[in-house]
């Protein structure tokens, strides 16, 4: 398989008062075509910072990010548009990711129109992808405040996949939802991976969730990868004390 994404020795430092804090320190990994990779760790471990650097939402201090073999680090604003075509992100709070003044359908159409699609075609596709994500087409005519959290998250996934990105990043995409809705979203993400062969990067603090959808897992602690393997390898035979602590938190 070919690597959709390759991350090489990524580093990110923040200034906190007079101190420099290493949020991400020397992280490297690959994601293959059709693979789902989980980044797992406690809040503040650096996993969301990694995701934002990949999505060009945070600058990279050191290291390199390759998308389909091409470097995307340090791109100017105009050049980043091509990256947004191939990488889409689903956030933790779906309602906050939509403009409250426009209907869900308009929000889904926006990314397609920005990529040059005609409005009438984008309107048809928005309704099609709402259906793919388990919502009826009439959800396109609703505002974000008129739907539940789970329905809004499905709409945000529809928006992300409508332009058929090579990589879908889910940053704690289920953590704000109740257990039943979490399971529905996980099943949806698994289905999308199978049907579209879409590579996924799942940012999560819960090993039980990534076990259901991820092919491989990286455990991150203090900005570093401390353990890597399949979900079963990590959960059944953890090597690091930090990983054992994460596993104990879900038992």
User: Phi, psi at residue 8, to the nearest 5°?
Assistant: -120, 110
249 compared with 152, residue with greater pLDDT:
152
The answer for residues whose C-beta is within 8 angstroms of residue 47's C-beta and 6 or more apart is 39, 40, 41, 203, 220
pLDDT band at residue 249 using 50, 70 and 90 as cut-offs: confident
Are the beta carbons of 207 and 231 closer than 8 angstroms?
yes
Q: Report percent pLDDT > 90 for the chain.
A: 44
Nearest one of 44, 36, 143, 51 to 88, comparing CA atoms? 51
Q: What is the pLDDT of residue 22?
A: 87
Are the beta carbons of 37 and 217 closer than 8 angstroms?
yes
Name the residue range of residue 239's domain.
3-248
Are the beta carbons of 130 and 95 closer than 8 angstroms?
no
User: Phi, psi at residue 204, to the nearest 5°?
Assistant: -155, 155
Q: Indicate the angle between helix axes 77-86 and 104-114, nearest 10 degrees.
A: 120
SS3 state at 139: helix
Question: What is the tens place of the pLDDT at every residue in 195-228?
Answer: 888 899 999 877 777 888 899 999 999 999 999 9
* CATH number, domain containing residue 34: 3.40.50.300
List the alpha helices (DSSP H) in 92-250: 94-97, 104-114, 119-132, 149-161, 179-196, 207-213, 231-236, 241-248
Are the beta carbons of 107 and 153 closer than 8 angstroms?
no
The answer for residues whose C-beta is within 8 angstroms of residue 94's C-beta and 6 or more apart is 144, 149, 152, 153, 155, 156, 176
- Give the side-chain half-sphere CA count within 13 A for 19: 4
Question: What is the tens place of the pLDDT at every residue in 81-108?
Answer: 778 788 998 887 878 888 999 999 999 9
Q: What is the DSSP letter of 185?
A: H
Total domains present in the chain? 1
Are the beta carbons of 168 and 111 closer than 8 angstroms?
no
Block residue for tokens 């257990």: 179
User: Is this structure's pTM higher than 0.85?
Assistant: yes
Block residue for tokens 């959800």: 139
């Amino acid at each position: 398989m070919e690597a959709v994404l390759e991350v090489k020795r990524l580093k990110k430092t923040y200034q906190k008062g007079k101190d420099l804090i290493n949020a991400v320190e020397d992280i490297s990994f690959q994601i293959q075509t059709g693979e789902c990779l989980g980044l797992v760790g406690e809040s503040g471990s650096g996993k969301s910072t990694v995701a934002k650097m990949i999505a060009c939402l945070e600058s990279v201090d050191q290291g390199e990010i390759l998308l389909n073999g091409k470097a995307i680090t340090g791109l100017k604003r105009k050049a980043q548009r091509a990256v947004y075509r191939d990488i889409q992100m689903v956030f933790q709070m779906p309602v906050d990711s939509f403009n409250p003044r426009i209907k869900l359908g308009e929000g889904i159409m926006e990314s397609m129109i920005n990529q040059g699609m005609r409005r009438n075609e984008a309107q048809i596709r928005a309704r099609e992808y709402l259906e793919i994500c388990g919502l009826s087409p009439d959800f396109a005519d609703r505002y974000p405040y008129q739907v539940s959290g789970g329905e809004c998250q499905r709409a945000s996934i529809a928006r992300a996949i409508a332009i058929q990105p090579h990589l879908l990043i889910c940053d704690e995409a289920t953590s704000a939802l109740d257990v039943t809705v979490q399971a529905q979203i996980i099943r949806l993400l698994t289905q999308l991976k199978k049907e579209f062969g879409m590579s996924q990067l799942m940012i999560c603090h819960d090993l039980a969730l990534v076990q259901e959808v991820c092919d491989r897992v990286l455990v991150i602690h203090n900005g570093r990868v401390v353990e890597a393997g399949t979900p079963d390898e990590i959960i059944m035979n953890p090597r690091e004390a930090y990983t054992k602590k994460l596993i104990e938190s879900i038992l």
